[in-house]
């Protein structure tokens, strides 16, 4: 049994913390929202008065927060209070630069740290099947791996500090671009009088095959579990897709990478969000594309 502090008990953090409790760990939790603390308590998390109190006796500290500024401010608060040699794991999706700053805050205090963002959404968090993409030293990763296991389907050590965040935003840039590509193909098929099922049957076994088509099809019918079948209830909200595409663009600008399709995808999702669809599933962009091509 390990004592684990868990800070950020929202849609993702709460089910992740619950799986750590189920695995037999003592989990000391904190969140700013009282209703999230109530859920965490029901899952067996010991609620602490604030973040520094949560980390005081912890061997491992996990953060699952909205963005880089939250992670850095929490790290500044908790690093001085952490046990000597404790391991910090940040599983939030944040920009690579903030992730590297977070590593530096931990290192200055002699703490181990990894960035370990996840893919798999709230369903994967509840089922304990998240994919973790980890960045950090071999030593920190070796300590982190058994802690992550009860929450994970797959754990990949991607490289040094920030490599996990780099993998996450590259993956989600592929996802945003491919979803728009699949949605455009269905809109074109509609105009050409080709049925959704016919396009699906051909493309899903041809060179157009991809996850956005075969697992997350943006039209109702061909993939019964995709959000298109429940009026685009998320799933993965368009607001989060826009956040990740913006992070990819920031990283592209900072590193000099040329990503014209990533830039276009970010713009299209910004328009879709601005039309009041931030809470809809990101595959709902097909409705925006239909409207944009009347
Ligand atoms: P969320 O908004 O539900 O949870 C974030 C929690 O952090 C909230 O409960 C909030 O009160 C808490 N918080 C904010 N500042 C805090 C502070 N200073 N101290 C303590 N608690 C604080 O968000 P989420 O959906 O759980 O996502 C968390 C992270 O995981 C984000 O970075 C997101 O991009 C990423 N992510 C989300 C999904 C998803 O499907 N929801 C999938 C993969 C990755």
Rounded CA-CA distance 64/90 in Å is: 6
pLDDT in tens, 165-175: 999 999 999 99
Task: Say yes or no: ipTM exceeds 0.95.
Answer: yes
Query: Does the active-site annotation cover 246?
Result: no
Q: What is the pTM of this model?
A: 0.94
- For a mutational test of ligand 1's pocket, the pick from 7, 9, 11, i.e. the residue with the most ligand atoms closer than 8 A to its C-beta, is 11
- Distance from residue 93's CA to the centre of ligand 1 (Å): 9
The answer to whether 28 and 86 are in contact (CB under 8 A) is no
As a whole number, the mean pLDDT across the chain is: 97
Res 293: pLDDT: 54
How deeply is 80 buried, as exposed, middle or buried, from its count of CB atoms within 10 A (0-12, 13-18, 19+)? exposed
Over residues 234-261, the mean pLDDT reads 96
The closest residue, in CA terms, to atom 31 on ligand 1 is 66
Please tell me whether residue 281 adopts helix, strand or coil conformation: strand
**Euclidean distance between CA atoms 125 and 290, whole angstroms:** 33
**Ligand 1 shell residues, CB under 6 Å:** 7-13, 30-33, 36, 51, 64-66, 70, 74, 92-93, 118, 121-122, 236, 240, 243
Cα of 184 from ligand 1 centre, angstroms: 31
């Amino acid at each position: 049994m390990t004592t684990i502090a868990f800070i950020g008990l929202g849609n993702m953090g709460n089910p992740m913390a619950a799986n750590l409790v189920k695995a037999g760990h003592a989990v000391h939790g904190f969140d700013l929202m009282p209703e999230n603390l109530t859920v965490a308590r029901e899952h067996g998390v010991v609620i602490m008065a604030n973040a520094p109190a949560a980390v005081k006796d912890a061997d491992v500290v996990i953060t699952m927060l909205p963005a880089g500024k939250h992670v850095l401010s929490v790290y500044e608060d908790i690093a001085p209070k952490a046990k000597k040699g404790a391991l910090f794991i940040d599983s939030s999706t944040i920009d690579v630069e903030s992730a590297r700053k977070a590593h530096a805050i931990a290192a200055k205090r002699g703490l181990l740290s990894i960035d370990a963002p996840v893919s798999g959404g709230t369903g994967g968090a509840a089922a304990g099947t998240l994919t973790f993409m980890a960045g950090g030293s071999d030593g920190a990763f070796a300590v982190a791996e058994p802690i992550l296991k009860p929450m994970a389907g797959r754990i990949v050590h991607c490289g040094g500090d920030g490599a996990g965040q780099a993998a996450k935003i590259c993956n989600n840039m592929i996802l945003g671009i491919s979803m728009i590509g699949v949605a455009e193909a269905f809109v074109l098929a509609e105009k050409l009088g080709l049925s959704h099922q016919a396009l699906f049957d051909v493309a899903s076994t041809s060179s157009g095959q991809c996850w956005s088509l075969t697992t997350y099809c943006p039209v109702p019918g061909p993939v019964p579990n995709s959000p298109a079948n429940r009026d685009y209830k998320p799933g993965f909200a368009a607001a989060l897709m826009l956040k990740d595409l913006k992070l990819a663009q920031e990283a592209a600008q900072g590193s000099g990478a040329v990503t014209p399709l990533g830039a276009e995808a970010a713009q299209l999702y910004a328009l879709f969000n601005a039309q009041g669809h931030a809470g809809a599933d990101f595959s709902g962009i097909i409705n925006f594309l239909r409207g944009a091509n009347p």
